[in-house]
Chains A and B, each alone.
Chain A
Amino acid sequence: MSLTQAVRDKLDIPDLVTGGKSLKDVTVDIAKPNEDFPTKLWWNTFLLVLTITLIDVAIIGYLFYEGLYLLGINNPVGWGFFVVNFVFWIGIGHAGTLISAVLYLFRQGWRTGINRAAEAMTIFAVLVAASNLILHVGRPWLGFWLFPYPNERGPLWVNFRSPLIWDTFAVSTYLSISMVFWYLGLIPDLATLRDRATETWRKNLYNILAFGWVGSARAWSHLEIVSMILAALSTPLVLSVHTIVSFDFAVSILPGWHTTIFPPYFVAGAIFSGFAMVVTLMVIAREVFNLKNYITMKHLDNMNKIMMVTGLIVGLAYGTEFFIAWYSGNEYEGFAFWNRAFGPYGWAYFIMISCNVLSPQVFWFRKLRYNIPVMFVASLVVNVGMWFERFVIMMTLNRDFLPSSWAMYTPTLFDYAMLIGTFGIFFTLFLLWCRIMPVIAIAEVKTVMPQKEGAHH
């Protein structure tokens, strides 16, 4: 037994891979879902979400043939579900980067079990968010106007001082860096699948996907450094993206939006909802793909703790907003918050509070942190709550300075279809990905196993 193992045993630190697995077992176990024929459960779920996606695509087509009047948006509530969905999904994406980048920098070995799936979640969530961003402009075929490019309309440039342009740059940078980070990590694992493949078509597919990786120590040494660099770049990036998303609101002069608390509050909310989504997905994945030795209760416990902490931060932010609205003595600010809690959308506010602030409190108890049904329900509840948080923020628009311009926002069937559609797209992509690529980082898990001991000098 190595010294490190002895220390771990003494301190009662649980193993990150349980079940006494060898290096070969790890490869076999994790590659199994990619190599077997999909189960009936997978097919049924996939067909369900694919149907939702196809219906959504048809509805989007109709919506743009007819025009945005089909939606519930009006004046003053010009930002409807599209922006709620955008902020919600981009927030979901953040946990993936947080797990892969921030926990990497802090040398958290337990991230290896969950980082791959979390990164994939990031990519798909950001894609869904970006599609909402493009759709909300109303004429999505002109979406490329958001990018600065030399054009024939005279010296006409985008306005770099506009939060919408900041969003464009932030989201596209985030998407590209996340994709590159995710794919670089995947290359060695795809090479593993390539070398295990027996059928020719499978071998050819993975041969292309694996980029011709052989696992040379020289290449590994560069790859390790680059993972570190990308982690170091993504960490401020993840903070900047949601900060910039919050600027969409905070740089306006609307009471309730024009606050300096928005950037940290949004970032905490993003991490909160993202971790909830990771827990939801991991609880399902470890069950369906039989990965309980790799995604252990310890992993879930850690994530539940993070959820609880970020839930408390979000709760503090809600309280601070109210306190400042009262303490500043600004009448309009005060009204905006009174209206949030006791106005016509008060029900949404109380859904938000009970889901986001109260429900994560169950994780104070170790027994409940280790209870799968409890954490599954709590993670779903948190996601609902975080969606409502964005809804509540958006509904600030319904009563602004002039009572004569007040109006209610009633979502139409099209709004709801778009919302359900985003989940359809996300889960379709995620399920397809689970079939083709390993859900756990094979190479990275091997680096935290006891077998790698002795490799140290």
Chain B
Amino acid sequence: MYLPKLEQFHKYKEMDEGVLGIFDTPEAIMHAAEKTKEKDYIGFDCILPYPVHGIDEAMGTPRSGLPWITFFAGIFGCTIGILFQYLTHAHDWPLNISGKSLNAWFAYVPIIFELTVFSAGIYTVAALCFLSGIPKATRRILHPDLTSHKFGLWIPKSAKGYNESDVVSFVKSLGGSEVTVVKPENQK
């Protein structure tokens, strides 16, 4: 049976201290991600201007678990839709209209559907915001080109076996065109 795993809800980690390597092509970043995974720098990340397909496998991050949130939020919205209409029409304010059943549930379907979709959509997006660490207005921007045409490899200080000079030479060996050591104090 397919069950949600905790690692599917991988969270964005702040980029305060570590090493940033900049790459020029999607191929280079794919290659770099694979090598970094082999090196076992746990918690590393790639910064991409657009979703490069296949990067998840290269980095070893599991598929997002957000569909589970959608599923349960949808069931929640559906239940609310049924209960709300039933309780208001059959209990709190029953009206006898041409002797029809108080629980004429066929007429409830449009609103049940809308509430299901609404709840599934909104809760999923809320979960996405939580996992992606947005909104946050005061966030450090490592390099302006990373949202346009460059690709970044980020190895945080918290990674296992992190050693600044080793990591710098490792990123350089991967072909990073620009390698910078990021420290909290040189934050702009």
Interface membership of B4, Cβ < 8 A: no
Asked if residues A237 and B117 are in contact (CB atoms below 8 Å), the reply is yes
From B51, which residue of chain A is reached at the shortest CB distance?
A220
Interface of B is mostly: helix
Contact-residue bracket for chain A:
35 or more
Q: Residues of A contacting B49 with CB < 8 Å?
A: 23, 27, 188, 192, 215, 443, 446
Known: A196-B148, A216-B46. A225 touches B64 (CB 8 A): yes
Name the segment of A7-15, A155-163, A307-315 touching the other chain: A155-163
Q: Residues of B contacting A211 with CB < 8 Å?
A: 129, 134-137
Interface residue from A181, A213, A457 paired with B54 (Cβ < 8 Å): A457
Q: Residues of B contacting A194 with CB < 8 Å?
A: 141, 147
Chain A, 130-179, CB within 8 A of any chain B CB: 148, 155-157, 160-161, 165-166, 169-170, 173, 176-177
Asked if residues B141 and A214 are in contact (CB atoms below 8 Å), the reply is yes
Q: Residues of B contacting A217 with CB < 8 Å?
A: 33, 45-48, 52, 55-56, 59, 61
B positions within 8 Å CB-CB of A: 10-12, 15, 25-27, 30, 33, 45-59, 61, 63-64, 66-67, 70, 84-85, 88-89, 92-93, 104, 107-108, 110-111, 113-115, 117-118, 120-122, 124-125, 128-129, 131-139, 141-142, 144-149, 154
Tell me the bound Cα distance from A212 to B33 in angstroms. Answer: 23
From A208, which residue of chain B is reached at the shortest CB distance?
B137
Interface membership of A358, Cβ < 8 A: no
In this complex, the member of B15, B84, B117 whose beta carbon has the largest number of chain A beta carbons within 10 angstroms is B117
- Report the 9 A-B pairs with minimum CB-CB distance, sorted nearest first: A212-B136, A212-B139, A211-B135, A23-B149, A219-B132, A455-B26, A195-B144, A161-B107, A217-B46
From A228, which residue of chain B is reached at the shortest CB distance?
B67
Query: 27 interchain pairs (CB within 8 A)?
Result: A23-B49, A27-B149, A155-B93, A173-B118, A176-B118, A177-B122, A195-B147, A211-B129, A214-B146, A215-B47, A215-B48, A217-B47, A217-B52, A218-B45, A218-B61, A219-B12, A221-B61, A221-B64, A222-B128, A224-B51, A224-B64, A225-B66, A226-B128, A229-B66, A447-B53, A452-B52, A454-B30
Asked if residues B110 and A244 are in contact (CB atoms below 8 Å), the reply is yes
Asked if residues A160 and B85 are in contact (CB atoms below 8 Å), the reply is yes
Tell me the bound Cα distance from A216 to B115 in angstroms. Answer: 32
Tell me the bound Cα distance from A196 to B88 in angstroms. Answer: 54
Interface residue from B64, B148, B154 paired with A192 (Cβ < 8 Å): B148
Q: Nearest Cβ distance between residue A23 and chain B, in whole angstroms?
A: 4
Asked if residues A444 and B50 are in contact (CB atoms below 8 Å), the reply is yes
Known: A160-B111, A176-B122, A213-B134. A455 touches B52 (CB 8 A): yes
Tell me the bound Cα distance from A200 to B75 in angstroms. Answer: 46
Asked if residues A173 and B117 are in contact (CB atoms below 8 Å), the reply is yes
Q: Residues of B contacting A184 with CB < 8 Å?
A: 125, 128
Interface membership of A105, Cβ < 8 A: no
Interface membership of A451, Cβ < 8 A: yes
Known: A161-B104, A180-B125, A247-B110. A212 touches B134 (CB 8 A): yes
Interface membership of A282, Cβ < 8 A: no
From B152, which residue of chain A is reached at the shortest CB distance?
A215
Tell me the bound Cα distance from A455 to B134 in angstroms. Answer: 27
Known: A169-B110, A216-B45. A157 touches B149 (CB 8 A): no
